[in-house]
A and B are shown apart, each in its own frame.
Chain A
Amino acid sequence: MNFVSLEFAVLLVVVLSLTAIFRDALARKLIILSASCAFYAYWNWRFLGLLVFVTILDYYISVLLVKSNIPKQRKFLLALSVISNLTILGFFKYFNFFIDSLNFGLVPLGLSLPELKILLPIGISFYTFETLSYVMDVYRGRTEPARSLVDYAVFVTFFPRLVAGPIMRASNFLPQLYRGLHFSRDNFVLGAQFFAQGLLKKIVIADTCAVLVDKVYEIPWFYSSSTVWLGVCAFAVQILFDFSGYSDMATGIARMFGFELAMNFNLPLTSQNLTEFWQRWHISLSTWLRDYLYISLGGNRKGEIRTYFNMFITMLLGGLWHGASWNFVLWGGLHGLALALEHWWNRGKPIREWTLLRALPGALGVFLWVALSCVFFRSSSMSIAGTVFSKLLFIDPVGVNWFYLPAFGYLVIVLVGGFVMRVTEFDFSTLDLSRPYILPLIASEFLFAFLFAAKGISPFIYFQF
C-alpha cells in the first residue's frame, strides 16, 4: 500500500478514527497492529507469515535472554537470532545474486547453477535490521525487553515506517508506546505538515527529476554530455527527496498518533565533508551500521589501518544492504574508500565548525561525489554506467540537448534552500502551530502538490530494498 493512494487514505482515516474512539491501551495497540498487518499484506499476504515468524522468534529469544544468566546460553540465543534473521534476509535478497556471481566464476568450467524464482518481501531489509538491533540491545543490556508480544509486534510492524524506515530502535519506540497514544491538535497539525512536506518532496520534486533521470539512464547515448550531467545531478536530488519524502510522510503519520520517529535526513547536501554527509543522510541506517557493524568490527580501537579497513567494510556492506547487485557493492565500496581516505587526510586535524563560506566548496565536492557515485546506484547495468561516464567525461559529447527546466529549477532550489535552512536553523516544529497562517499554509502545500505533481507517480525508490 502506497502512502499516495486512495486505499491508504481510507486506512489512515479508519485507524485514526478507531484509535480515537477506543480509549483502552490494548485495544488501540491491537487496532494499530491489525492496520499494520493489513498494510503489509496488501502487497503480498504470503510474506506476512515471514514477518510474523521473525517477530515471534525474536520476541521469545529476547525473553529467554533476560531469563538466562549463563553466558554460553545467552551467546547461543544471540547467535540463533542473528543467524535466523540473516539467513532469511540472505535467502530472499541475496540468493540469486550469489548464484549469479558463482555462475560467472564457473563459466570457464562450463558449469551453471540454476537460479530460483524468489520474490523479495517488501521492507525485509528494514525490519530485519530492527529486530536484529533489538535482540543485540537486549543481549548487551542496553534496552529492556518488550513488555508483551503485542508491544513488540507493534514496534516491528508499525505501519508508517514498516517498509522503508526510518529504522527504529526499541529503546526509542517502546517507551512512547507504553506512554500511550496522544491525540492533540498540535500533533495532528504537525503530522499534516510533515506529510504535506513529504508529499511535495516525493510527487513534485523527486518525481519531476525522475522524468529526466529515467530518460537519461534509459538511453544515455542519445543525449548530449550536458544533458547527462544534468540527469546525473538530478538523480542525487531525486533519491534524496524520494527517500526523505517517504521519511517525512512516515514521521507525519506517526506524529498524528503521537509518536515521534527518529530524524532520518538532516540537510545532507549542506555537509562540508563526506563524514558529515553520512551523519546527515539516512541517519537511521548510518547509525545502525556504526553501532552494530563498525563497532562490532573493532571500530577505531584496533589501530589506524584497521579503522580505515573497518570503515571500508562497513560501507561496502551498507552498499550491499541496498541491493543484491555489484552496482550497489561498488557504490558502497567507493563511499567506504572515500570515507577512509578523508579520515586519513584529516587525521589529527581539529574538526572545523560549519560556516556557510567555509562549507560551500566542501558541499559542492560532496554533492558531486554523491551524484557521480550514484551513477552505479542508478544504472541498470555496468554497460549503462560506462556510457553515462563516457558522456560525463565528454568522450562522446554529441547528442540531443534537453535542458529540462523543472529538474534544473528544483536542483537549484534544493541546494540553495538547504543552505538557507541550515543558516537560519529553520525548523517548522518550533513554530507556534496555533497561528492563523499555519492551516492555510499546509492546505497550500497540498494544493501545490496536486497542481504540480509529476504525471505518473513512480514507486518509492527505497521500497525495493
Chain B
Amino acid sequence: MVKPMSSQAPLKTKLASRLSHWGQTILWLLVFMLLFEIGLRTLVIKPPLQVFKPGWGMVPVDNAYEVVGYEGYAVTHYAGNGEVRSPFTDGRSVVVLGDSTTKGAEVPDSQKYVNRTEQILRERGVKADLCNLGSAERSIADSVYQAPVVIEAYAPEVVVVQANLNAFEISLEADRTNHFAFGPNGSLKLVHRNVIPDANRHNIVASSGLLSFVAYRWQFVRASLVTSYPVLFPNEPPDDSVVISGQAKMLAMLNALREAYPNSKIVILVISQVPKVPLERAQPVSWSSHEDDLLVAGLRQLNWVTVVYPSPAFQQRFNQDRVLPRGFFNSPPNLGHLNEYGNEVVAGVLADALEAILR
C-alpha cells in the first residue's frame, strides 16, 4: 500500500514542476508579446478601427486616429466619413480625393498638403474648407461611385482628384469593389460589387499593433513566396493589372467623373514619381515622367479640367535646397510617399490653382 503512494508522489511533483515550467514559459511569452505590442503601437502602426457606411464603404470610425511609421512617422486624426481632420471647417467647400499621398500617409496632419493648401489659401484671404478624403489605393472608379454621398455631405464647389496614370489603370481591375467595365460598343459602365466587408474581422486585427504589423509584413513575405514558389500557390489569381492604351478609355473615365460631380469644378492633380537619377554623373537628373507627361498633355486639351502638375516645382525646390519630394528617415530618397518638402511644394502649386478658381 505504501509503495505505490511513494512512487506517485515524485510523479505528481514532476508533473507539477513541468506544468509550472510551461506556465512560466507562457507568461514570459506574453511579456515579450506585450513589449512588442507597446513598441509597435507607439512607433510603427496603430490602424484606426473602421466601420462600414453605405455609399462610403469602409471608413475609420469618427474621431479615430492612426499611427503610421513605416517610412516616416505620422499620427493622422480623422473626422467623420474617413475625412482627415483639418484645422478649418468653415468656408467654401473643396473636396480632395486621392490615394494615400493625399491622405498624407507618413507625414503629420500639419504637413499634409491638403491642410497646408488650406492654410496657404487662408493666408491669401481665400476662405476655403478643404475636405481631405484621401484613402489608400483610391481609384477614379471609387471617386465616381462615392459621388452621391460626397455631394450630399459636402456639396463641393471644387473637386480635386489626385490621380496619375495608375489611378486610371486600377479603375479597370475587375477584382476591385468599384471598377469600370467597357461594353462591346465601347460604352463605359461603373460596376460595384455589392460585398459588405466584415468590419469586425478587420477591427480584430486593427486593435493590435502586433497583429496589424504581422499582417502588413506577411503581404511582402507572401508576395515573395508566390514569386519564388508558384507551384505552392496554384489558386493564385493571375496579375490583372491593366495597361491603358489609347486616350479614349481615359477620356471616358474622365467624363464619368465630370458627370458624377456635375456642379463642381474639376481639378486633376498629377504627382509624378520624379526625379529619375542616372547612374552616371555626366547625365542630367530627369524631372519628367514620360507617362505622366502624356497624361498631362491630354488633360490640358480638356477645357473643363484644371490640371495641376507639380513636377517643375519639385525641380525648382531641388535646385534651391537639394531636397527631394519623397523619402524619409526610414526609406530611401525619392521612393514612397511625399515627405514634408514634397507636401509643401504640392500645397504651393495647388493653392495657386484653387486661388485662381475661387477668387
Partner-B contacts on A (CB < 8 A): 5-6, 211, 215, 218-219, 221-222, 224, 387, 398-406, 436-437, 439-441, 443-444, 447-448, 450-451, 453, 455
Contacts and interface: CB of A to CB of B under 8 A. Distances in A.
Contacts of B327: 402
B228 interface: yes
A6 B213 contact: no
22 contacts: A387-B281, A399-B322, A401-B322, A401-B323, A403-B329, A404-B332, A405-B330, A406-B330, A436-B25, A436-B28, A437-B28, A439-B29, A440-B25, A443-B32, A444-B32, A448-B36, A450-B217, A451-B213, A451-B214, A451-B217, A453-B217, A455-B220
Contacts of A440: 25, 28-29, 31-32
Q: Which 4 interchain pairs have the tightest Cβ spacing?
A: A436-B24, A405-B329, A440-B29, A440-B28
A439 B277 contact: no
Interface in B323-344: 323-324, 327, 329-330, 332-333
A400 B333 contact: yes
B322 to A, nearest CB: 6
B281 A221 contact: yes
A152 B342 CA distance: 62
B327 to A, nearest CB: 7
B182 interface: no
A403 B333 CA distance: 10
A266 B40 CA distance: 32
Contacts of A219: 277-279, 281
B14 interface: no
B36 A6 contact: no
B277 A6 contact: no
Nearest to B23: A436
A412 to B, nearest CB: 14
B333 to A, nearest CB: 5
Nearest to A398: B322
Contacts of A404: 329-330, 332
Interface string B303-339: 0000000000000000000111001011011000000
B32 A400 contact: no
A199 B22 CA distance: 26
B300 interface: no
Contact of A215 (B28, B214, B322, B332): B332
A189 to B, nearest CB: 12
Given A399-B322, A401-B322, A404-B329, A447 B36 contact: yes
Contacts of B192: none
A400 B324 contact: yes
Nearest to A399: B322
B32 A441 contact: yes
Interface in B47-75: none
B68 to A, nearest CB: 15
A437 B32 CA distance: 9
B225 interface: yes
B21 interface: yes
B228 A6 contact: yes
A216 B324 CA distance: 16
B229 interface: yes
A50 B124 CA distance: 77
Contact of A6 (B25, B29, B225, B322): B225
B229 A6 contact: yes
Given A221-B281, A400-B324, A211 B333 contact: no
Given A222-B277, A443-B29, 20 more contacts: A6-B229, A218-B279, A219-B277, A400-B322, A400-B323, A400-B324, A402-B327, A404-B330, A405-B330, A406-B330, A436-B24, A436-B25, A440-B32, A441-B28, A447-B36, A448-B36, A450-B217, A451-B213, A453-B217, A455-B220
